Structure 1
Amino acid sequence: MKQQYDTRLPRCLANASDTDKDVLRNYYLTASLLPKYSGLKQQVIDVLVAHMGQKSLDIFQIAQVLNMSSRTLQRQLRRNGSSFTQLRDEVRRYHGMRYLLEQRLPVTQICNLLGYSDRTSVTHAFHRWVGMSPEELKEILIPFNELS
């Protein structure tokens, strides 16, 4: 299940009141919530969440934790209409939005916590998720006096 955001909203509300920005911030946080799955999909999500920021989030590591080969994991997820890449992206989106909008962490730290190799990868991910960079989203949605 891929969440589609209305990427026009943030730019339209750049000069909006703090209340309107709070509403939009909550919209992004709510829209990025992790869905509840059953079976293997939920197991993969749980392992990804448990290992967020601790170790590599590649399919080989996750499959090993689940006591199966990466190929078997791919095959079973595909049979259930999903993929490892999709589930990992959902977990990263969930945590990325929280790290940025709730914890207000710097993008370089978010990069490390989400398991991306560089800052450019995080920027591309945010563009895919919300249509703008993390810096743009932070600038629009977090009042200047709240920035660290």
Structure 2
Amino acid sequence: MSRSPTDFEERVYAPQRITAIVATLAEDGVSPAHVLAGSGLDEAAPVTRVSYAQVATVLHNALRLAPDPAFALRAGARMHLTQYGIYGYALLSSRTYAQLLEFSVKYRRVIGPMTSMAYDAEHNPAICSFEPLLSLDPCDPLYRIALEFTYAAHLTLCRDVLGPTFNLTAVHVTYPAPAHANAYATLLQCPTVQFAQSANELHFDPAWAGCIPQLQDGITHEMARQSCQQFLDELTHISGTAALVRRALADQMPWRFPKIEAMALELALEPRTLRRKLEAQGTSYRQILADVRRGLAIEYLRKTRMTTEEIASRLGYSDAANFRHAFARWTGKTPHAYRLI
């Protein structure tokens, strides 16, 4: 179930995640050309910028080709600090581990992450939570491998900054235990791994929150922070029309579902021009609106006690039956069956 980032098609992010996936499958005898098939990328012609769309294509290929179901955990473990560029320097020079985590949350978009991240230093100083960006559905393999990659990458990065003694105390995921569940404890070096939980979380000893990275430096951190902020500012300008529509819908929903004419007016475009621009990006206003509705529906079913009727009303459906039909079309399940997973 897709949850496309607003800049899904824009080639603005570093390719290290794709590189890590390709290298991991190459170890298992899978040709890089097969892993990159359909992505527009070629191992013989290295690129410095890729899009979320290309990452998603590579991940789908890897899911189909990988002989080792734990490949995403292994690939994430390759993500050392030096592979994050200026963002990595900002983390390395952080004053404390807590500051590192707070920076990670605020500037995470710089690295084109597979998951969003949350950290509450005041109320939960020993927990980081994550949500995959390319899928909302815990039963979707893309959701699982995005989380596996992120968890392993987070562990590697923390050890690069804080030293090899850093360990996780617990790993929580929202999906049921996969066939390779035993690999989590081994590759994440954490004996407490719990599946089918209410949230995706990494737990660590709270004493680490105040730990000072060995190479902390206030001036370097501020210089790196400014560079990351500049990149985020530039992203706002380069995102395409589809990104602008998604962002506008996200700001207005739920409750308000503007027709394309109203959206065009908000973006200072003629409706015909808006349609043409979206078609050039391989999408349509109707498709984007459905994607946003689908995302909200899954969030409500997973994280609230709202009834099907209440969700249908909030998403602008005339009745619950229409919503149920739409949800079954999106997921292959009824809202009731989805909630029982």
Give 1:78's aligned residue. 279
Quick check: 1:20 aligned with 2:221? no
Aligned partner of 2:323 among 112, 122, 129: 122
Tell me how many residue pairs correspond in the alignment. Answer: 121
Give 2:293's aligned residue. 92
Q: What RMSD over aligned residues (CA atoms) do the two structures have, in Å?
A: 3.1
CA displacement at 1:134 relative to structure 2: 0.7
Q: Check the 8 A contact 2:250/2:292 in 1, yes or no.
A: yes
Say which structure is richer in helix.
1
Q: Check the 8 A contact 1:57/1:88 in 2, yes or no.
A: no
Structure with more contact order per residue of length (Cα contacts < 8 Å, sep ≥ 6): 1
Alpha carbons of structure 1 residues 42 and 19: separation in structure 2 relative to 1, 3 Å: closer
- Residue-by-residue CA offset, 1:54-90 (whole Å, 9 max, x unaligned): 3233212222211222222111100111111111111
Give 2:269's aligned residue. 68
Q: Check the 8 A contact 2:278/2:284 in 1, yes or no.
A: yes
CA displacement at 1:110 relative to structure 2: 1.0
User: Which stretch has the larger CA shift, 87-96 or 58-67?
Assistant: 58-67
Q: TM-score, normalised by structure 1?
A: 0.67
In structure 2, C-alpha distance between the alignment counterparts of 1:66 and 1:86, rounded to whole Å: 18
CA displacement at 1:41 relative to structure 2: 0.8
Q: TM-score, normalised by structure 2?
A: 0.31
In structure 1, C-alpha distance between the alignment counterparts of 2:247 and 2:240, rounded to whole Å: 11
Quick check: 1:45 aligned with 2:246? yes
In structure 2, C-alpha distance between the alignment counterparts of 1:84 and 1:130, rounded to whole Å: 20
Gaps of 5+ in 1: 8-17, 28-36, 142-148
Say which structure is richer in strand.
2
Determine which structure has more spread, i.e. the larger CA radius of gyration: 2
Alpha carbons of structure 1 residues 108 and 117: separation in structure 2 relative to 1, 3 Å: same
Q: Check the 8 A contact 1:77/1:83 in 2, yes or no.
A: yes
- Secondary structure in structure 2 of the residue aligned to 1:20: coil
Q: Check the 8 A contact 1:53/1:112 in 2, yes or no.
A: no
Gaps of 5+ in 2: 4-134, 141-173, 178-194, 201-237
